[in-house]
Structure 1
Amino acid sequence: MAALDLAFLGDIILDVPDPNHWLSGIADITRAADVTIGHLEVPHTRRGTELVGDVPAPGADPDHLAALARAGIDAVSMAGNHIADCGAEGIADTNAELDRLGIAHAGAGATLAAAKVPAVIERDGRRIVLLSYNCVGPEISWASEDRAGSAYVAVHAADGGPSRPQADLVEIDPASAAAMAADIAAVRAPDNLIVVALHKGITHRPAELAPYERPLAHAAIEAGADVVVGHHAHIVRGIEIYRDRPIYHGLGNGVVVTNALSPGQDHAARAEWVERRKRMFGFEPDPAYTLAPFHPEAVNGMIGTVRWHADGRLEVGYIPIFSEAPGRPVLPTATQRKEISEYIEDIGIRAGLPRLRMVEDGPRMMHRPTS
């Protein structure tokens, strides 16, 4: 039985024209993998009621989802802080179009039970099982028995207020963590590889991990997850190996191209956020990045790679990617590749993660244990 190559892409927002173009710089990589999984950040819909409680993202064109299929993306996680921004209709429209295209999905649905249904991708008699959880709020975006939204793991804010993306989130709710562990245990099987996607972390801040991030990722692996992937911060994070299983603490931007984050908004909440973000995180976006006005260090990115061998062994690595202006991810030049690899190593050390030995293997950086 041959090994299976898996690729993991970070946040995806495609709400500007020509989605094929924005994906084209990395599409050869995403198509080459046996299974590629990304994180769909916003609903794709032409209808719905705007959710009040966070800075709402506009719905993207449902027709743009077909570009994901053309780029070889097999599945998407959806549990995040923006997937409910167009209400129940936005989630329903997104799921319906993904189903029509044959793209598996997990993390958002008409009820909490629906949002927690795992995505399953079968290859050569083996199954990749994807579970997806929103760990940052806002609570109004979480699904319930009678409300559409995302699956979630609740993390309490230091100020005692509700869970919300810009709060100081510190403590994992024990009952919520136990529910995640039960979900993982329910899909354990000898021929299953379980991927847990966590929408977590501190946005726009280099290197730093919130206090709950490592414990939550460890809990997922202790419950039986084989791979943990993180997203939400819009800036790449370090990689950790725990119990011989990889944790990508933050994949950074996969492909994020949107006008909703740029100056000159005609939407009051989005215009206010453009200015508040600068004050909160202390950076001024490069004006050339009109469609991806993030922290200057966010140009450094990665596609996570895992080779799943027939005996269960995992080879862990990543492919460096670079975001060129105005926001298109591409494979880097040799110089950029070296700089990105050094950056990813450095931010892991600064975040307190154990140092990994990574070596070049074609376009990938591969983990080679020292013992």
Structure 2
Amino acid sequence: MTFCDSLPIGRALAVTAALAVLTAGCASTPSEPQSKPGGRSFTVAAAGDVLIHPELVEQAARDAKETGEGEAGLDFGPLMAGVKPVISKADLAICHLETPVGSPRGPWEGYPEFLVPPQILTTLKDVGYDTCSTASNHTNDHGLKAIRSTLDAMDRVGLGHTGSARTPEESQKINIRDVKGVKVAHLAFSWESFLNPTSQKERWSFNRIGTDEIKKAEKRARAQGAEVVILSLHWGLEHYNEPSVPQLQLAERLTKETGIDLVIGHHAHVVQPIQKLNGTWVAYSLGNQVARHSSPTGLTEEGAIGWFEFRETASGWDVSARYRTTLVDVPPEAEPGEELPEGAVEDHRLVDVRQMLDDPGDLTSDRLSRYRLAAERTRGFLFNRGAPGGDGLAELSLKD
């Protein structure tokens, strides 16, 4: 008999505040999922938008002159090197390619109808990404021809893709990858741009968000042997750190009515909460992985890498969630020939904030303050729907 069982019922009306505190521990707590002998496990890293603005192309050109590497005068490697230790550590790493790519020597375009250098794909692969979602409001910026050339370029560098298609037949295929002996499906859906909608006869080229469509895709994935299904969603409102009502409603339906194991969100360009909803982790927006908006807000440079460990149990998959804060360093604007302040950021760089704080070297106090702000603010946004409590969201340590 436990202490809670032994409390006389008649004394309930006379319980004092002190006894209430003492007996609070009698409340039931969720039991840990029962481990499965020989159960499999794997890790997933996922991040937000890869959005190559013209300023980042200019940076890649400057870096190519310094490194002598890259292709056709562009090297995106130095820009993204800061996250390689995290991304390459995952068993499955998922990115979101926001835009179509053009040819290696251009021409390229920025907002509102993006066409970016395909050299970024080589860098994404080198950093450690395995597959990317390609469904976004910019997917059809340059029509079906650009959709096809983008997927062709991804195939050439060995990046998986889902969310757009070159043919009606490809639109029905499911991106299933073998991850440490587990068949993992990756699905992707988005709202469609009003500026460049797909034509009626080519609607198959792009996955539009809809509960029924997502359910059908999951059903196809399961029929093809998927043991785990991960869903990427391009949704919500730009520059809002809280999910919109439609986001919350769709998340509620998907986590109740499907068997999807993880939802990864992007499009807001800022960090939104990670929440365990009806037993399923939902990352509403992981912010930008890498971008350089024409008017940086501070929030648009901050992002998060979501880190999810899947562990097979007797009743299914138990998933734990971690995160790693990122920041795109943006140099201050200066006139040609003007010297930057001592210790100022000189180049656009995607950095792992925790690594910078743990090993600051000779960074100035201003730089360290910026990284601390990113860490604290990102933590606040991620935890804003209760994930740190019993759900266990925490910062990822690379020493684990």
TM-score (norm 1): 0.73
Task: Work out the percentage of aligned pairs sharing the same amino acid.
Answer: 24
Residue 39 of structure 1 deviates from its aligned partner by 0.3
Cα–Cα, structure 1 residues 7 and 110, in superposed 2: closer, same or farther, change >3 Å?
A: same
Q: 1:254 aligns with which of 281, 289, 304?
A: 289
Query: Counterpart of 2:329?
Result: 324
Output the amino acid matched with 1:347. F
Q: 2:146 aligns with which of 90, 99, 116?
A: 90
Q: Secondary structure at the match of 1:32?
A: coil
Q: Secondary structure at the match of 2:99?
A: coil
Query: Counterpart of 2:264?
Result: 229
Query: Bigger shift: 95-104 or 185-194?
Result: 185-194
Structure ranking higher in strand proportion: 1
Output the amino acid matched with 2:318. R
Structure ranking higher in helix proportion: 2
Query: Counterpart of 1:109?
Result: 165
Q: 2:219 aligns with which of 185, 206, 222?
A: 185
Query: Counterpart of 1:121?
Result: 177
Q: Matches of 1:142 and 1:133 in 2, distance apart?
A: 14
Output the amino acid matched with 2:277. Y
Residue 2 of structure 1 deviates from its aligned partner by 4.8
Query: Counterpart of 1:212?
Result: 246
1:6 aligns with 2:8: no
CA contact (8 A) 2:114 2:141 kept: yes
Residue 356 of structure 1 deviates from its aligned partner by 2.4
Alpha-carbon displacement from aligned partner over 1:199-231 (angstroms, at most 9, x marks no partner)? 0111123x2321100121232233111110110
Q: Matches of 1:223 and 1:298 in 2, distance apart?
A: 32
Cα–Cα, structure 1 residues 68 and 346, in superposed 2: closer, same or farther, change >3 Å?
A: closer
Aligned residues: 302
Cα–Cα, structure 1 residues 148 and 138, in superposed 2: closer, same or farther, change >3 Å?
A: farther
Q: Matches of 2:387 and 2:44 in 1, distance apart?
A: 23
Q: How does 1:1-371 map to 2 (within 5 A)?
A: 2-14=40-52, 16=57, 17=60, 18-46=75-103, 56-110=112-166, 114-115=170-171, 117-135=173-191, 137-138=193-194, 140-142=196-198, 144-147=200-203, 149-153=205-209, 176-188=210-222, 192-205=227-240, 207-221=241-255, 222-257=257-292, 261-262=293-294, 285=295, 293=296, 295-311=297-313, 312-326=317-331, 327-332=348-353, 333-334=356-357, 339-347=373-381, 353-357=385-389, 358-363=393-398
Q: Matches of 2:371 and 2:133 in 1, distance apart?
A: 27
Query: Bigger shift: 232-241 or 10-19?
Result: 10-19
Q: Secondary structure at the match of 1:184?
A: helix
Show structure 1 runs of 5+ residues with no match.
154-175, 263-284, 286-292, 367-371
Residue 149 of structure 1 deviates from its aligned partner by 4.2
Q: Give the CA RMSD over aligned residues.
A: 2.9
Output the amino acid matched with 2:173. V
CA contact (8 A) 2:93 2:129 kept: yes
Q: Matches of 2:375 and 2:351 in 1, distance apart?
A: 15
Cα–Cα, structure 1 residues 58 and 88, in superposed 2: closer, same or farther, change >3 Å?
A: same
Cα–Cα, structure 1 residues 106 and 24, in superposed 2: closer, same or farther, change >3 Å?
A: same
Show structure 2 runs of 5+ residues with no match.
1-38, 61-74, 332-347, 358-367
CA contact (8 A) 2:324 2:396 kept: no
Highest CA radius of gyration, 1 or 2? Answer: 2
Residue 117 of structure 1 deviates from its aligned partner by 3.3
CA contact (8 A) 1:80 1:133 kept: yes
Q: Matches of 1:349 and 1:77 in 2, distance apart?
A: 25
Residue 115 of structure 1 deviates from its aligned partner by 4.0
Alpha-carbon displacement from aligned partner over 1:301-335 (angstroms, at most 9, x marks no partner)? 21000011133211111111122114432111336
Cα–Cα, structure 1 residues 126 and 298, in superposed 2: closer, same or farther, change >3 Å?
A: same
Q: Secondary structure at the match of 1:298?
A: coil
Alpha-carbon displacement from aligned partner over 1:145-203 (angstroms, at most 9, x marks no partner)? 435742111xxxxxxxxxxxxxxxxxxxxxx3212222123323786211111101111
CA contact (8 A) 1:111 1:147 kept: no
